[in-house]
Chain A
Amino acid sequence: MKRLKQSGNASPGWVLSAPAFLWWSFFFLLPVLAIVYFSLADKGGYAAEQAVLFNDLDLDNYANSLTGPFFAVFLITMRTAIVGTLTALLVGFPVAYTVATAVRRKWQPVLLFLLILPFWTSFLLRTFAWRIILAPEGPLSMFLQTVGVLSSPLGILDTQAAVQLGIIYNYLPLSVFPIYAALDRIDPRTREASIDLGAGRIRTFIEITLPLAAPGIAGAAMLIFVLAAGDYVNPAILGGAQGLLVGQLIAIQILASQNLPLGAAMAVVLIALLGMVALTVWLLVLAVKRAMKWVWDPGVHADRKVLTERGSHA
């Protein structure tokens, strides 16, 4: 330390980032490891001091999570999350496409802000709203009965369908952002060139726009899937007894049944499932990218060949 650095405030980066790093290590990494450790323990008595027993560490809780009624909830959760993700993408893609291509530049950030605003403001309120709208004696039910579509009050509330609707509604805004970001990076001239060369609108969309937007679509899918699979609020508010999802099941094990080890094991299973899905999506995106290179590269080589041939003629 004899020579001081010339630039005045040159404290190295690791010193500045150390507080956050230590904070996360102590309050995030260690707790996650603690979940894994607790998942191997056993449920003890109801007294607080011996609620968890560590004298016999085994994988029993995992065996329990992966069989019977618990595993059925995992499957329902995965199905709900996948349907929710795909629907949000189908509904959100045209919106992202419209904002990116058919709206004036000046208005694009305004529209995007309006889209994220509901997501940033009270998640509870947005979920709660559907309890009013879908109530058997609520506004939608009354309207549908007056019009004659329904002959009896609406019975969606407290079912799987209500949870599915809530998940689509709540996470829909998240589908727009990553896709918009990807579409916005595509030079409009790429599309124009494709159409000028006679590819037609549909072919241009499928062969140019969609593959170029693939990373954005995958990003949106991951974001929504992870949040939907770990959701607690939607099933708790809209699902009633029928619409149980794994997030709620885990919370019940820990907060109501006092079975912390089983809840911890379920949480680890959930993380593992999410990790596997993330890996699959990532590999898919890589495959799309590789396929695009394969489609585009021959053209590049042909161009070069033409150029070199011309060069040799000259």
Chain B
Amino acid sequence: MRDLAIERGMKAWMCLVFGFLFIPIFVVVAFSFNGGRNLYVWEKFSTVWYTVALENPTVIRALWVSAESALINAVAAVIFGTLAGLALARRKGRWTRPFATLMFFVLTAPELVVGIGSLIWFDQIGFTWGIGRIAVAHSLFDIAIVALVVRGRAEGLGESIEQAAADLGAPPLRAFLGVTLRMMLPAIVAGGLLAFTFSFDNVIISMFVQRPGATTLPVHILSSFKTGLRGDVAAVVVMALGITLAVILSAVWLLQAGSRRTGMDT
């Protein structure tokens, strides 16, 4: 009886914590549909702030800057991260330890440090392309993320199929493209989608490295918090949430579908 009481208490606590985590998110979503002039005082349901937000050229421009830099960042992360992830899973050697150490520092460095360092360095080497600066600075962390995701999948799959392809006479490049990459595809795409969302949501690094005229959506949102809160900010924030959520859910779905398919194969 006592065990049951303890277990019930623990589950109740868990539900409370889940409520604590999710209720604020629902509050923002709900209040973004508040038609009143004052964001905090609920008046009536309305989508007026979404119209206001979408008619604001600064918002649209910032949205494109975010999307473009997130996409370039994701491409870089996928290329470098996939190769590194495969190497970490399949071709360990003397290089592994220094590489893993560097990767650890990239993963744990505070964003603030990455932001400041990138700002100083880009200015020093004369790298002035706004979107490129954001993409490169974001890609550092995201390469590591893709490498971890790809390594996880490569270790889970084993190398037998690739060896079979080589034994059957497939030339190296063809074995790599046709077998290795195809088997890794769900992990690579999922890693790329994660890289996209991390970049799309990033505030701190973008804030440091951005150039005039190339402001990302989160930096725009942050600066509009400071000038005063209106419903259009809530609407923009909720739309950004929708984009991130869609991308993340497809990444998870891909990873799941990928592991299920190979589960049936073996």
Q: Are A and B subunits of one complex?
A: yes
The interface of chain A, by Cβ under 8 A from chain B, is 7-17, 19-21, 23-25, 27-32, 34-35, 38, 91-92, 94-95, 97-99, 102, 111, 113-115, 117-118, 120-126, 128-133, 135, 137-139, 169, 172-173, 201, 226-227, 229-230, 232-233, 236-237, 247, 250-251, 254-255, 260, 263-264, 267, 270-271, 274
Contact for B197 among A113, A120, A126, A129, CB less than 8 A: A120
B91 touches A19 (CB 8 A): no
Given A17-B99, A34-B121, CB of A137 within 8 Å of CB of B14: no
Interface SS of B by simple majority: helix
CB distance from A42 to the nearest CB of B (A): 15
CB distance from A308 to the nearest CB of B (A): 39
B84 to chain A: closest residue by CB? A20
Determine if B257 is an interface residue (Cβ-Cβ < 8 Å). no
Q: Which of B176-225 contact A (CB under 8 A)?
A: 176, 180, 197, 201, 203-204, 207-208, 218, 221-222, 225
A35 touches B91 (CB 8 A): no
10 pairs, CB–CB < 8 Å, chain A vs chain B? A8-B171, A20-B83, A21-B102, A98-B14, A99-B14, A121-B197, A125-B25, A129-B27, A236-B222, A270-B110
Q: How far is the CA of A92 from the CA of B21 in the complex (A)?
A: 11
Determine if B24 is an interface residue (Cβ-Cβ < 8 Å). yes
Determine if B62 is an interface residue (Cβ-Cβ < 8 Å). no
Interface SS of A by simple majority: helix
Interface residue total, chain B, C-beta cutoff 8 A: 94
Determine if B59 is an interface residue (Cβ-Cβ < 8 Å). no
A121 touches B17 (CB 8 A): no
Neighbouring A residues of B260 by C-beta, 8 Å:
none
B204 touches A232 (CB 8 A): yes
Neighbouring B residues of A21 by C-beta, 8 Å:
84, 95, 99, 102
A247 to chain B: closest residue by CB? B112
Given A8-B171, A27-B136, A230-B113, CB of A125 within 8 Å of CB of B28: yes
Given A12-B91, A27-B136, A125-B240, CB of A172 within 8 Å of CB of B204: no
A28 touches B21 (CB 8 A): no
The interface of chain B, by Cβ under 8 A from chain A, is 6-7, 10-11, 13-14, 17-18, 20-22, 24-25, 27-28, 31, 38-42, 76, 79-81, 83-84, 86-88, 90-96, 99, 102-103, 105-106, 108-114, 116-121, 124, 136-137, 139-140, 143, 147, 162-163, 165-166, 170-173, 175-176, 180, 197, 201, 203-204, 207-208, 218, 221-222, 225, 229, 233-234, 237-238, 240-241, 244-245, 248, 252
A16 touches B87 (CB 8 A): yes
